[in-house]
Amino acid sequence: MVSPGVVYRAPVRIALDATALLGPVAGVGAFTAGALEALVARDDTSMYGYALSWRGRSLLREVLPVGVTSGWSVPAAPLLRLWAHSDLVPVEWIMDNDEPMDIVHGTNFVVPPARRASRVVTVHDLTCVRYPELCTPTSLRYPALIRRALQTGAWVHTPSAFVAGEVCEAFGADPDRVRAVAHGQPPTVAAPVAVPPRGLSRYVLAVGTVEPRKDLPVLVRAFDQLAGDRSDLRLVIAGSDGWGADALTAAIAEARHGDRITRTGYVDDATRRQLLEGAAVLAFPSRYEGFGLPPLEAMAAGVPVVATAAGAIPEVCGDAAVLTPVGDVDAFAAGLAAVLDSPERASALVVAGRVRSTSFTWERCAQGLVDLYRDAAGG
């Protein structure tokens, strides 16, 4: 029974795209997992998950958090082509339940059409517009899908004010219907041991999928400048190969100290945490970012960060990281040296980073998303 004077608000029924949880969890998967966990824990939401993946249809129930109802998985390729210019195959055909949805949230640039539900699409960045040469064929479909979603009334979620501004500029979107809601920091995962992995002493760490946008060849060249005067220093690059990994392979082959560079490939959460805890510095030389989860994770773990001032990275890191110009090998090497050679500077960055990271929580993210959902449903 609702007490007199208390306005009861029914839970918002949300169908959310959980496709990114079906494989190795990268940036979009981390956002999807963190947001789902925080949303399903609230008493004002009712969560349903769907997937744009036919091959992963048998896995969806397994990857969804407890309390999230599983919908259907559908093939992505033909639907992406269809949704770029048509409202056929609405979300109501995808969800395996009889209860109507209030919101359908496309968490990765694509939101299905809907007969009744209001729609929200997350645009993580605009690499597909700003740097199409760095994109895969699938990513190059995103501009048409974003444009179609905006034309048909979808609201936009972005992880940063930087991307929100880009969406308004590139697509002429109404700023009142574009909402920046920041991610939370990745969950703390206990490392299996508290010492650096075998064979590593002092090392610079880079984490994330190997792809051209991350500009890891710049890091290799910067490391090569430093390694000659620092015989104990190594570079560890942890992350699975995306497309364009050949450029990194070539840069390592050309490096004078390439024998001190380790590529681990994909690592699980516990191993990544172990690598972070042992690192002297987290290096993030990206050419363009819509948010920047690795720097945030490093700051939360008490690891100093050297990154480029690319996209939303200054917005996320503030003054808690050393920031250098994009693509400048000499400046990036100098930034790394400033941290590696000064315990006082490193310690100051650790303190500032821990403080900075506390403002990014999944609970705060979930609250921002629910506010967005209610505005979208009301609109």
Q: Check whether residue 50 and residue 93 sit in a common domain.
A: yes
Tell me the two tokens of residue 181: 């809601």
Q: Check whether residue 176 and residue 314 sit in a common domain.
A: no
The answer to the question of residue 193 being in a domain is no
The answer to the question of residue 6 being in a domain is no
Distance (Å, rounded) from C-alpha 233 to C-alpha 22? 36
Q: Check whether residue 206 and residue 77 sit in a common domain.
A: no
Confidence of residue 85 (pLDDT cuts 50, 70, 90): confident
Q: Check whether residue 126 and residue 18 sit in a common domain.
A: yes
pLDDT score recorded for residue 195: 47
For 240-267, what is the mean pLDDT? 92
Backbone φ/ψ region at 265: left (φ over 0), alpha (ψ -120 to 50), beta: left
> pLDDT tens digits, residue range 161-176?
999 999 999 999 999 9
Ranked by mean pLDDT, the top range of 88-102, 178-192, 251-265 is 251-265
Q: Any long-range contacts for 323-332 (C-beta under 8 Å, 24+ apart)?
A: 326/215, 326/286, 326/287, 326/288, 327/215, 327/218, 327/287, 328/218, 329/218, 329/221, 329/222, 329/225, 330/222, 330/225, 332/218, 332/219, 332/222, 332/283, 332/285, 332/306, 332/308
The answer to the question of residue 1 being in a domain is no
Q: Check whether residue 75 and residue 146 sit in a common domain.
A: yes
Q: Check whether residue 148 and residue 103 sit in a common domain.
A: yes
Q: Could you tell me which of 265, 234, 233 has the C-alpha nearest to residue 249? A: 265
Q: Check whether residue 217 and residue 301 sit in a common domain.
A: yes
Question: Which is higher by pLDDT, 88 or 164?
Answer: 164
Q: Check whether residue 274 and residue 326 sit in a common domain.
A: yes
Q: Check whether residue 215 and residue 332 sit in a common domain.
A: yes
> pLDDT tens digits, residue range 254-311?
999 999 999 999 888 889 999 999 999 999 999 999 999 999 999 999 999 999 999 9
> pLDDT tens digits, residue range 127-146?
999 999 888 888 899 999 99
Question: pLDDT averaged over the chain?
Answer: 90
Q: Check whether residue 54 and residue 124 sit in a common domain.
A: yes
Q: Check whether residue 167 and residue 241 sit in a common domain.
A: no
In the predicted model, is pLDDT for residue 233 greater than 80? yes
In the predicted model, is pLDDT for residue 193 greater than 70? no
CATH number of the domain bearing residue 281: 3.40.50.2000
Q: Check whether residue 83 and residue 110 sit in a common domain.
A: yes
For 27-48, what is the mean pLDDT? 94
In the predicted model, is pLDDT for residue 3 greater than 70? no
The answer to the question of residue 7 being in a domain is no
For 13-17, what is the mean pLDDT? 94
Question: Which is higher by pLDDT, 190 or 52?
Answer: 52
pLDDT score recorded for residue 98: 67
Distance (Å, rounded) from C-alpha 104 to C-alpha 113? 9
The answer to the question of residue 47 being in a domain is yes
Tell me the two tokens of residue 346: 């490193």
pLDDT score recorded for residue 187: 66
For 54-74, what is the mean pLDDT? 84
> pLDDT tens digits, residue range 341-372?
999 999 999 999 999 999 999 999 999 999 99
In the predicted model, is pLDDT for residue 4 greater than 80? no
The answer to the question of residue 5 being in a domain is no
The range of the structural domain enclosing residue 105 comes to 12-184+361-378
How many independent structural domains does the chain possess? Answer: 2
> pLDDT tens digits, residue range 295-340?
999 999 999 999 999 999 999 999 999 999 999 999 999 999 999 9
The answer to the question of residue 194 being in a domain is no
The answer to the question of residue 197 being in a domain is no
